[in-house]
Amino acid sequence: MNRFDHRRILVTGAASGIGQATALRLLCEGGHVVAADISEEGLATTRSLAEEAAAADRLHTLVLDIGDENSVISGLRQAIDTLGGLDVLVNAAGILRGAHTHETSLELWNRIITVNLTGTFLVTRQALPTLLAGGRGVVVNFSSTSTAFAHPYMAAYAASKGGIQSFTHTLALEYAKQGLRAVSVAPGSVKSGITDTTASYLPSDTDWSLFSKMSPLLATDQEAGSAPMAGPESVAGVIAMLASDDGAFITGTEIRIDGGTHA
């Protein structure tokens, strides 16, 4: 079943992790996808994986810095021109950096907010006119389990993701009459580019006991460090549902995907 035949899709953060898995899933369901990311090398990997799946003919890649307004304006123009329109936007790009809150510099705080929250806003703002023109546009944003459950050393990250969640609710209400749906996914205990590098961004004196309640109830088949994780495909499948007509009555909410970590 190709739920995305003739659907035009932009996925940010598509050079690795969940963004990459999402781009590949939507390609394999018939979508025409622009995979965008700041990493040109990672995008080359995405293309190689699409070639292995015999879906590369519908994939376009785009080097994009979502934290830079000029890059977003020119990149979105290029993506929309390449696709001939836009039906689905998946804002998967983001960064995580950790620090004791009392040692978090304003520079670090602003960097995380700029990429995660402002970047999501900038891409969405530029995409909205084209998404609305089709009458059934979909925006899928990336929140996090950190918005509702304490994740130590991640105050700026949690604040940015909480902002994205609130932003998504506003989009859903403001544009519902024009056919737009807006939903957030909140992954947790899912292997991604962020989880693979989290330990390197945490303080040297990290108290690992603070993470003791952050293990999934369901069985997993992967790890990040020694933490049990599900594969990024577990989120990509949910996004495929939300962005397709199977999710046609879902908007203005968030879906937590964490294997019961925060049950």
Q: What is the mean pLDDT of residues 27-47?
A: 98
39 by Cβ neighbours in 10 Å (0-12 / 13-18 / 19+) ranks as middle
Strand-pairing partners, residue 63, are 37
For residues 47 and 21, is the Cβ–Cβ distance under 8 A?
no
- Whether residue 262 is contained in a domain is answered as no
What is the spatial distance between Cα 171 and Cα 73, in angstroms, rounded to a whole number? 20
**pLDDT tens digits for range 188-210:** 999 887 877 777 889 999 999 99
Q: Tally Cβ neighbours within 10 Å of residue 109.
A: 17
Cα of 93 vs its chain's centroid, Å = 5
Burial (0-12, 13-18, 19+ Cβ within 10 Å), 149: middle
Residue 263 inside a domain? The answer is no
Q: How far is CA 6 from CA 13, 30, 33, 87, in A?
A: 22, 7, 10, 9
In the predicted model, is pLDDT for residue 54 greater than 80? yes
* CA neighbor of 88 nearest in space, from 39, 35, 162: 35
The CATH code of the domain that includes 212 is: 3.40.50.720
Q: Is 49 part of a structural domain of the chain?
A: yes
pLDDT of residue 192: 84
Read off the pLDDT band of 213 (50, 70, 90).
Answer: confident
Give me the phi and psi of 7, to 5 degrees please.
Answer: -95, 140
Do residues 78 and 62 make contact, with C-beta atoms less than 8 angstroms apart?
A: yes
Within a domain: 184: yes
Domain-embedded: residue 125: yes
pLDDT in tens, 102-153: 999 999 999 999 999 999 999 999 999 999 999 999 999 999 999 999 999 9
Domain interval for residue 253:
8-257
Burial (CB < 10 A; 0-12, 13-18, 19+), residue 104, is middle
For residue 2, being part of any structural domain is answered with no
- Whether residue 83 lies inside any domain: the answer is yes
3 lies in some domain: no
Catalytic positions are: 157
Sign for the CA dihedral angle at 155, 240, 76, 196 comes to positive
DSSP, collapsed to helix, strand or coil, labels residue 34 as strand
Number of structural domains, the chain?
1
Half-sphere exposure of 254 toward its Cβ, with a 13 Å CA cutoff? Answer: 26
Q: How many angstroms separate the CA atoms of 253 and 244, rounded?
A: 16
Which run of H or of E encompasses 167?
helix 155-175
Phi, psi of 105 (to 5 degrees): -75, 155
Q: Residue 3 corresponds to which amino acid?
A: R
* Mean predicted lDDT score pLDDT of the chain: 95
Helix, strand, or coil here: 163? helix
Q: What is the mean pLDDT of residues 157-180?
A: 98
Strand order in the sheet with 32-37: 59-63, 32-37, 8-12, 88-91, 138-142, 181-187, 253-257
